[in-house]
């Protein structure tokens, strides 16, 4: 296994996890755990990988230098996908200084047996001179854990922001221009929609801070996915857009169906929306195994939609379980609380009182969605007039969206 030199004296020495398909509720087509070796007169390793990837990291480092020659480790983030190989590395390098935030130190101590670790706690603005290369540290609390930190390589103008600007994808490409601009941004959108949404105000504040410090960022080397070397400005602009809640004339419809009635309603809404020339994405949840229908794929669509419709049949007076799962996830992320409003309402078929619609309406409100009616329910199967009403509601929603 080999390192890849990303600029002179800076190497990607990360791990590719081709097989991971689920990570705390996020479905993913594999991922990478990016670590970087910065070689000046002294040598620093930035971040590591998930437990079990020790060999990949060590072999890639060994293709550049003897790992015993590493002088410093930088731990930007405690979460195990970036620190899981530290126990091995700190054993190989007894006494090696580990640079992290105060919260980072506390977090590492809760995760690992750190009695022999040599912590060097840093604050924003502190630097580490490697001789010819200088690392500057910038605390980034809650982006996305309390311990998070960005590291900036002054001479080459590379930002190592850990999770921020990342994408969960395993591929042979290491750079945005190799994977392609559109695919890189698409994967970054999914990552943002599932992980960064609740942190939007902190993203905007941090980007302002980076600007006010006069940090010129030429390259962004995140801890997952491809490195932004050709489209760094595009991903920065996308983060600003997403964090401000900017979205498209688009509606996402998410639902499940028991005997096809709620499905017929979803399709009628979609027809009405399309008639008004507004983009629509229709997501039948089922088991989430079909392309684009798992909760984490849907969140990428919710992010750039101006409206979200959620439908469920009643099941024992409750939500359909797949819809309950989606709403639980949605309430945690709260995409309706980004800078601009998102509209929505509930729909579904029921034999009894329509309690599923009331539950969806409450959950949409918890997620910050501006609910524009109390939901549209039908008893058993929707008849022709009821389906026409669904189309009409779709048209009305699309017209509202076009005025936003
Ligand atoms: Fe990629 Fe917060 O871990």
> Residue 187 contacts by C-beta under 8 Å, 6 or more apart in sequence?
167, 168, 169, 179, 225
Strand partners, 343: 307, 370
Q: Report the nearest-CA residue for atom 1 of ligand 1.
A: 163
How far apart CA 231 and CA 145 sit, in angstroms, is 26
Which residue's alpha carbon is nearest to atom 2 within ligand 1? 79
Give the atom of ligand 1 at the shortest distance from the alpha carbon of 144. Answer: 2
For residue 386, the surrounding DSSP H or E stretch is helix 384-403
Residue 388 — very low, low, confident or very high, per pLDDT cuts 50/70/90?
very high
DSSP state of 220: E
What is the reported pLDDT for 209? Answer: 87
Q: Is 75 helix (H, G, I), strand (E, B) or coil?
A: coil
Among residues 264, 287, 229, which one has the least CA distance to residue 381? Answer: 264
CA-closest residue to ligand 1 atom 3: 79
Question: Could you tell me the distance, in angstroms and rounded to a whole number, from the CA of residue 100 to the centre of ligand 1?
Answer: 15
Residue 183: pLDDT over 90: yes
pLDDT band at 383 (very low <50, low <70, confident <90, very high): very high
Lowest mean per-residue pLDDT among 92-106, 193-207, 262-276, 379-393: 193-207
The answer, yes or no, to whether residue 229 has pLDDT greater than 80, is yes
Q: Which atom of ligand 1 is nearest to the CA of 195?
A: 2
At 292, the pLDDT band (50, 70, 90 cuts) reads confident
Model pLDDT, residue 142: 85
User: Would the pLDDT of 353 be above 90?
Assistant: no
Q: Cβ contacts of residue 110 below 8 Å, gap of 6+?
A: none
The predicted-structure confidence for 305-341, as pLDDT tens digits, reads as follows 999 999 999 999 999 999 999 999 999 999 999 989 9
Whether the pLDDT of residue 210 is over 90: the answer is: no
> Beta-carbon neighbour count of residue 18 at 10 Å?
10
Distance (Å) of CA 303 to CA 188, 208, 225, 238, 287: 12, 22, 20, 12, 22
* Residue 17, H or E segment: strand 15-17
Strand partners, 36: 12, 46
What's the CA-to-centroid distance between 23 and ligand 1, angstroms?
10
Q: Please state the rounded mean pLDDT for residues 175-195.
A: 97
Tally of CA atoms within 13 A in the half-sphere of 261 that contains its CB = 20
Q: What percent of the chain has pLDDT over 70?
A: 100
Residue 77 CB–ligand 1 contact under 6 Å:
yes
Q: What pLDDT was estimated at residue 352?
A: 82
Average pLDDT over residues 254-258: 96
Q: Is the CB of 81 under 6 A from ligand 1?
A: yes
The pLDDT confidence band at residue 25, using thresholds 50, 70 and 90, is confident
CA of 203 to the centre of ligand 1 (A): 15
Element (H, E) at 344: strand 343-350
Query: What pLDDT, on a 0 to 100 scale, did the predictor assign at position 215?
Result: 82
Ligand 1 atom at minimum distance from 223 CA: 1
Q: For the chain, what is the mean pLDDT?
A: 95
- 168 ligand 1 Cβ < 6 A: no
Residue 137: what pLDDT? Answer: 97
Question: Ligand 1 mean position to 223 CA, how many Å?
Answer: 8
Would you say the CB of residue 47 lies under 6 angstroms from ligand 1? no
Residue 54: per-residue pLDDT: 96
Q: What is the pLDDT of residues 34-68, one digit of tens each?
A: 999 999 999 999 999 999 999 999 999 999 999 99
DSSP-assigned beta bridge partners for residue 370: 343
Cα(131) to ligand 1 centroid in Å equals 30
User: Which DSSP string do the residues of 231-285 spell out, in sequence order?
Assistant: SHHHHHHHHHHHHTT---SEEEEEE--SSSHHHHHHHHHHHHHHHTT-EEEEEE-
Peptide bond into 144 cis (omega under 30): yes
Task: Compute the average pLDDT of residues 103-114.
Answer: 98
Which of the four pLDDT bands, split at 50, 70 and 90, describes residue 211?
Answer: confident
Q: Which residue has the higher pLDDT, 208 or 292?
A: 208
Q: What is the mean pLDDT of residues 103-112?
A: 98
| Contact 163 CB / ligand 1 (< 6 Å) | yes
Determine the pLDDT at residue 339. Answer: 87
Q: Residue 371 belongs to what H/E stretch?
A: strand 370-371
| C-alpha 81 – ligand 1 centre gap (Å) | 6
**Span 124-151, pLDDT tens digits:** 999 999 999 999 999 999 888 999 999 9
What's the CA-to-centroid distance between 146 and ligand 1, angstroms? 12
Beta pairing class for 10-12 and 36-39: antiparallel
CA of 20 to the centre of ligand 1 (A): 14
Neighbours of 386 (CB within 10 A): 18
């Amino acid at each position: 296994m080999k390192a890849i030199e990303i600029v002179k004296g800076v190497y990607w020495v990360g791990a590719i996890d081709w097989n991971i398909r689920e990570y705390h509720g996020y479905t993913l087509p594999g991922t990478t755990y990016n670590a970087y070796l910065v070689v000046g007169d002294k040598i620093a390793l930035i971040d590591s990988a998930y437990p079990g990837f020790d060999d990949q990291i060590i072999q890639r480092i060994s293709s550049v230098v003897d790992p015993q020659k590493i002088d410093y480790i930088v731990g930007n983030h405690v979460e195990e996908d970036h620190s899981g190989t530290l126990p091995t590395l700190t054993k190989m390098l007894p006494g090696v200084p580990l640079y992290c935030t105060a919260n980072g130190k506390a977090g590492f101590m809760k995760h690992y047996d750190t009695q022999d670790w040599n912590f060097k706690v840093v604050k924003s603005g502190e630097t580490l001179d490697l001789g010819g290369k200088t690392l500057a540290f910038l605390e980034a609390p809650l982006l996305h854990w309390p311990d998070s930190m960005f590291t900036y390589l002054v001479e080459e103008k590379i930002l190592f922001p850990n999770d921020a600007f990342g994408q969960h994808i395993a591929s042979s490409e290491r750079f945005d221009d190799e994977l392609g601009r559109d695919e890189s941004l698409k994967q970054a959108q999914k990552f943002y929609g599932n992980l960064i949404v609740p942190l939007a105000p902190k993203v905007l504040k941090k980007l302002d801070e980076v600007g006010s410090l006069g940090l010129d960022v030429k390259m962004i080397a995140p801890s997952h996915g491809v490195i932004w070397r050709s489209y760094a400005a595009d991903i920065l602009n996308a983060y600003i857009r997403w964090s401000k809640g900017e979205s498209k004339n688009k509606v996402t419809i998410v639902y499940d169906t028991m005997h096809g009635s709620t499905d017929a309603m979803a399709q009628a809404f979609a027809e009405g929306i399309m008639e008004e020339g507004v983009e629509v994405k229709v997501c039948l949840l089922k088991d989430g195994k079909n392309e684009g229908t798992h909760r984490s794929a849907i969140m990428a669509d919710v992010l750039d939609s101006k409206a979200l419709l959620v439908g469920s049949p009643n099941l024992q007076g409750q939500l359909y379980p797949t819809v309950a799962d989606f709403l639980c996830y949605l309430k945690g992320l709260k995409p309706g609380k980004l800078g601009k409003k998102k509209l929505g309402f509930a729909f579904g078929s029921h034999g009894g009182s329509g309690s599923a619609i009331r539950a969806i309406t409450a959950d949409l409100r918890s997620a910050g969605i501006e609910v524009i009616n109390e939901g549209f329910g039908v008893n058993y199967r929707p008849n022709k007039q009821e389906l026409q009403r669904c189309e009409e509601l779709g048209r009305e929603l699309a017209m509202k969206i076009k005025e936003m």
